[in-house]
């Protein structure tokens, strides 16, 4: 296109577009942002805009579409939300003053990871931009929330840990460079996250300051590339970015993305929404900052007992002081999002209304300080030290900004009278000028006798006197000069009006310009206090989360947990807090979970729908709530501090990877077996059900024995394989428990009560009846079950076909005594002989389930 003859304007467009080939270019033309060529074709489809053409009459018209500049944000948000980038190209000079082509340049590149203005629905969520650098076998990883200035980094040791970090942050964009290996690139491609390249960076003092506390080379490189990408895309100072903080994933309770999904910590697995999750239960926060911090705490529960106890102590104090807590809630509900306000101040896109929100928020700090000072003890001393009211900022905004400022900062009426003497002069001239105009209108009406004569104004013609055509004859001919003709009226100007117009418009123009300059000066003074604002925001966010824990603990009747050092676990009257809230306290049956130092495995049996999975999940949620510093759902709770939680609950295919339910099950189980320690918690729900009965039973038993002998972690294992309950006789650290159910008048009644010992039977047909299956089908199933239970398994004819399992009496029976017809022997190949030999030599007890699977897979390939 560039080689074709195009206009100077399109030449300028193509030159700018060449710099941003992977972004939609919003090219400013007057009051519109225009898109051309492929951007216009694709943009019109995504944004549902009318596609038009530039140079319609030429041989090759240019596709074109546009959006009004005042509504551009909504359209940009739509494109970014769909995973695209948008380059905003502005006019850099006044078209009236430009000599030749108006100078234009891109002022910002908006990307999924750098969007600043989140909607109200996303106020309690972070938007993280991540970066990755690979060096000397290390993976340096960094992430930033541009809207709040939070910046953290670490070094991850393998791709599994990298995937877990990326998925935990819910990042939409990752900055990469040429250092990445093929395996790392393959992982990022599988995760389908937008990758943006930043292959080099320029050393800057700002970057050195931000990264000064880091030591690992790969980590520093990741931060540097991240900062450079922000500098290139945002094209402005990054004064609000905080120093990069190194974190160690090993210092927090490890929860991989499988566990978070299975336990529904943040997202409901059925609705993909917040409702029905642990976050939903615990979120009684009053500020957006508190909501974001709560999510961060849930993502990373603590391992340090002293830190956990410190949080619990503050929650206990707030829980016990209802009136003080209510006062705090009232004050916090008036606090706006200080973190993001500080970011907007630094970015230069704050307006007058934002500054009033800042003032309103800061005015609540003295009251919050007063309430905390009334609470006994020194536990809140650290928080109080950070609750800086910033009185000088409140005073500055109060003196400078009017009580009802406009949205735009360039349209005037923004600065209070008395703040600046020069501005007062201009405003006085404007006020007197308008008074003079009113007096002129009255005198002209009296002089001419035209009662509907009026003085008006527009931006094109300035001030004018408008007279209807019916009254034109009454006008004096010596003073009135025609300026514009309308359908029913004429507009005129007089020498006196022209003289005053210059004074009034001159004063308005100068006043608007001065007001903007004064506003920028106020903004810059506040910008100098950003670090104090951010420190205050962090303290208020923490206080908000703690009061939220106190509120939920009181409302849901939660209890303060204690921690054991001997690996014992005692939970009395425990319950699943989310389920209990949904079904109601009266309907929920609480249960004890008790594991002595020598009992590390609970083997749970019982019918489907009896509550086994809920029982397992409530244990995990109790652990997580305790280790984030919240009270827990029980009447009494004493827990060890766990380092990791692994779960295998529920059945789901991994459609993205093309893996079956059973493969996903085996992968999750293997992840636990390979990485769990004695201090971990394992929750296995019906392992082995995704394959043939004997295969599944063998795998389940092998996993239990491996955990018992090798891993030695606290484990809850539910199963329908009743044969596994015999393991209690041979495994010293295993105990059978079951969820009770009884039959009454042919109906199954779930007791939802966990009791000692194994379940007596499965009740599968009864559950099918509850599901509403046809009675004829259920009767037939009952007959088949009776036959199966009446015969030993070794009586099954190996020649029986699947369809013969459901033959009526008189037909070929599954348990027929006749001697089966021997199938014709097939010659054994050398390959099959080799496989049989290897199978005979295999030591099953020395292998993990995953190693057994790999061997079987290899043999299968060889036989094929």
Digit-coded pLDDT (tens) for 275-287:
999 999 999 999 9
User: Is 561 known to sit in a ligand binding site?
Assistant: no
Pairwise CA distance, residues 652 & 770, whole Å: 23
Measuring CA to CA, which residue among 79, 90, 71 is closest to residue 39? 79
User: Is 764 known to sit in a ligand binding site?
Assistant: no
Measuring CA to CA, which residue among 91, 111, 89 is closest to residue 101? 91
Q: pLDDT at position 554, please?
A: 95
**DSSP string over 145-181:** ETTTTEEEEEEE-SHHHHHHHHHHHT-SEEEE-TT--
For residue 142, the SS3 value is strand
> CA triplet 478, 482, 486: central angle to 5 degrees?
145
Pairwise CA distance, residues 298 & 265, whole Å: 7
Q: What is the 3-state secondary structure (H, E, C) of 68-98?
A: EHHHHHHHHHHHHHCCCEEEEEEECCCCCCC
Q: Beta 173-176 vs 562-563: how paired, if at all?
A: unpaired
Encoded tokens for 388: 């800086």
To which H or E segment does residue 502 belong? helix 495-527
Q: pLDDT at position 776, please?
A: 74
Low-confidence ranges of the chain (pLDDT < 50): 1-3, 651-658, 792-819
Task: Give me the half-sphere count of Cα atoms (radius 13 Å) on the Cβ side of residue 188.
Answer: 22
Encoded tokens for 105: 């340049």
User: Is 629 known to sit in a ligand binding site?
Assistant: no
Q: pLDDT at position 679, please?
A: 95
Sheet holding 644-648, edge to edge: 254-255, 644-648, 681-685, 714-718, 601-605, 734-744, 747-756
- 10 Å CB burial of residue 274 (0-12, 13-18, 19+) is middle
User: Is 224 known to sit in a ligand binding site?
Assistant: no
Quick one: DSSP state of residue 100? S
Digit-coded pLDDT (tens) for 170-195:
999 999 999 999 999 999 999 889 99
Task: Please check whether residue 707 is in contact with residue 682, taking contact to mean a CB–CB distance below 8 angstroms.
Answer: yes
Pairwise CA distance, residues 628 & 315, whole Å: 11
Length of the chain: 864
Task: Please check whether residue 132 is in contact with residue 162, taking contact to mean a CB–CB distance below 8 angstroms.
Answer: yes
Torsion of CA 31, 37, 43, 45, to 10 degrees: 130
Task: Please check whether residue 106 is in contact with residue 23, taking contact to mean a CB–CB distance below 8 angstroms.
Answer: no
Quick one: DSSP state of residue 464? E
Q: pLDDT at position 348, please?
A: 86
Pairwise CA distance, residues 212 & 191, whole Å: 32
User: Is 531 known to sit in a ligand binding site?
Assistant: no
- Please state the φ and ψ torsions of residue 71, each to the nearest 5 degrees: -110, 10
User: Is 608 known to sit in a ligand binding site?
Assistant: yes
User: Is 474 known to sit in a ligand binding site?
Assistant: no
Pairwise CA distance, residues 168 & 255, whole Å: 9
Q: pLDDT at position 65, please?
A: 94
Digit-coded pLDDT (tens) for 303-335:
999 999 999 999 999 999 999 999 999 999 999
Q: What is the CA radius of gyration of the chain?
A: 36
Q: pLDDT at position 729, please?
A: 92
Measuring CA to CA, which residue among 233, 245, 226, 214 is closest to residue 133? 226
Measuring CA to CA, which residue among 646, 555, 543 is closest to residue 282? 555
Pairwise CA distance, residues 26 & 24, whole Å: 6
Quick one: DSSP state of residue 571? E
For residue 405, the SS3 value is coil
Q: Beta 129-135 vs 85-91: how paired, if at all?
A: unpaired
Digit-coded pLDDT (tens) for 722-734:
888 899 999 999 9
User: Is 820 known to sit in a ligand binding site?
Assistant: no
Q: What is the 3-state secondary structure (H, E, C) of 306-354?
A: HHHHHHHHHHHHHHHCHHHHHHHHHHHCCCCCHHHHHHHHHHCCCCHHH
> CA triplet 313, 319, 323: central angle to 5 degrees?
130
Pairwise CA distance, residues 224 & 210, whole Å: 9
Which residues touch 326 (CB under 8 Å, ≥6 apart)? none
Q: Which residues pair with 572 in a beta bridge?
A: 636
How distant, in Å, are the alpha carbons of 26, 93, 421 from that of 30? 12, 11, 35
């Amino acid at each position: 296109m560039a080689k074709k003859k195009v206009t100077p304007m399109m030449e300028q467009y193509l030159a700018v577009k060449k710099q941003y080939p992977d972004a939609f270019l919003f090219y400013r033309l007057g009051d519109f942002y225009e898109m051309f060529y492929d951007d216009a074709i694709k943009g019109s489809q995504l944004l549902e805009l009318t596609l038009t053409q530039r140079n319609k009459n030429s041989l090759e018209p240019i596709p074109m579409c546009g959006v009004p500049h005042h509504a551009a944000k909504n359209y940009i948000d739509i494109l970014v939300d769909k995973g695209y980038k948008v380059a905003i190209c502005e006019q850099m000079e006044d078209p009236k003053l430009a000599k030749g082509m108006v100078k234009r340049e891109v002022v910002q590149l908006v990307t999924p990871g750098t969007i600043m203005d989140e909607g109200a629905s996303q106020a309690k969520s972070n938007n993280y931009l991540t970066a990755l650098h690979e060096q000397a076998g290390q993976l340096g990883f960094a992430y930033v929330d541009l809207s709040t200035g939070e910046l953290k980094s670490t070094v991850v040791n393998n791709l599994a840990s990298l995937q877990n970090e990326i998925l935990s942050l819910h990042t939409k964009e990752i900055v990469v460079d040429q250092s990445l290996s093929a395996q790392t690139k393959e992982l990022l491609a599988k995760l389908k996250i937008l990758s943006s390249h930043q292959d080099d960076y320029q050393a800057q003092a700002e970057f050195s300051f931000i990264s000064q506390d880091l030591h690992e080379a790969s980590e520093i490189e990741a931060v540097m590339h991240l900062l450079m990408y922000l500098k290139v895309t945002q094209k402005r100072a990054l004064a609000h970015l905080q120093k990069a903080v190194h974190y160690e994933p090993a210092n927090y309770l490890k929860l991989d993305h499988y566990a978070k999904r299975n336990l529904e910590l943040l997202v409901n697995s059925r609705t993909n929404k917040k409702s029905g999750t642990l976050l939903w239960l615990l979120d009684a926060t009053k500020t957006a900052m508190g909501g974001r911090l709560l999510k961060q705490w849930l993502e990373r529960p603590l391992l340090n007992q002293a830190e956990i106890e410190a949080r619990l102590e503050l929650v206990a104090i707030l829980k016990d002081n209802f009136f003080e807590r209510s006062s705090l809630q009232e004050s916090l509900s008036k606090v706006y999002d200080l973190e993001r306000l500080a970011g907007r101040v630094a970015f230069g896109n704050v307006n007058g209304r934002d500054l009033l929100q800042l003032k309103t928020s800061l005015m609540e700090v003295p009251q919050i300080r007063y309430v905390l000072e009334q609470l006994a003890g020194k536990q809140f001393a650290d928080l109080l030290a950070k609750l800086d009211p910033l009185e000088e900022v409140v005073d500055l905004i109060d003196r400078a900004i009017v009580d009802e400022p406009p949205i735009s900062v360039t349209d005037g009426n923004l600065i209070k009278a008395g703040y600046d003497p020069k501005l007062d002069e201009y405003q006085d001239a404007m006020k007197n000028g308008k008074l003079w105009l009113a007096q002129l209108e009255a005198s002209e009406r009296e002089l001419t006798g035209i009662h509907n004569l009026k003085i008006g104004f527009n931006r094109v013609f300035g001030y004018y006197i408008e007279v209807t055509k019916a009254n034109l004859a009454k006008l004096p001919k010596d003073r009135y000069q025609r300026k514009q003709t309308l359908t029913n009226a004429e507009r005129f100007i007089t020498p006196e009006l022209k003289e005053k117009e210059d004074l009034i418009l001159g004063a308005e123009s100068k006043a608007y310009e001065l007001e903007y300059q004064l506003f920028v000066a106020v903004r810059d003074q506040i910008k100098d206090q950003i670090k104090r604002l951010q420190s205050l925001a962090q303290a208020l966010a923490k206080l908000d989360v703690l009061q939220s824990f106190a509120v939920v603990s009181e409302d849901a009747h939660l209890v303060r947990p204690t921690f054991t050092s001997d690996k014992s676990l005692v939970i009395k009257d425990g319950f699943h807090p989310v389920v209990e809230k949904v079904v109601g306290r009266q309907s929920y049956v609480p249960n004890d979970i008790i594991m002595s130092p020598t009992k590390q495995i609970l083997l749970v049996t019982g019918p489907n729908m009896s509550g086994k999975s809920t029982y397992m999940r409530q244990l995990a949620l109790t652990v997580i709530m305790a280790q984030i510093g919240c009270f827990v759902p029980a009447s009494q709770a004493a827990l060890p501090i766990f380092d990791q939680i692994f779960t295998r609950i529920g059945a789901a295919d991994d459609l993205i990877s093309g893996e079956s339910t059973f493969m996903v099950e085996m992968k999750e189980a293997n992840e636990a077996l390979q990485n769990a320690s004695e201090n971990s918690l394992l929750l296995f729900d019906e392992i082995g059900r995704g394959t043939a009965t004997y295969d599944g039973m063998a795998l389940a038993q092998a996993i239990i024995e491996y955990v018992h002998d090798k891993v030695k972690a606290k484990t809850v294992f539910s199963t329908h394989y009743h044969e596994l309950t015999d393991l209690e006789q041979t495994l010293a650290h295993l105990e059978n428990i079951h969820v009770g159910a009884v039959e009454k008048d042919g109906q199954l009644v779930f007791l939802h009560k966990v009791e000692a010992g194994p379940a007596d039977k499965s009740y599968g047909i009864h559950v099918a009846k509850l599901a509403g299956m046809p009675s004829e089908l259920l009767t037939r199933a009952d007959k088949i079950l009776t036959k199966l239970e009446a015969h030993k398994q070794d009586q099954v004819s190996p020649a029986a076909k699947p369809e013969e399992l459901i033959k009526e009496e008189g037909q070929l029976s599954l348990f027929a005594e006749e001697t089966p017809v021997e199938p014709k022997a097939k010659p054994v190949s050398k390959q099959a002989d080799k496989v049989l030999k290897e199978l005979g030599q295999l030591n099953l007890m020395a292998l993990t389930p995953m190693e057994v699977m790999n061997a079987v897979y290899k043999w299968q390939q060889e036989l094929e």
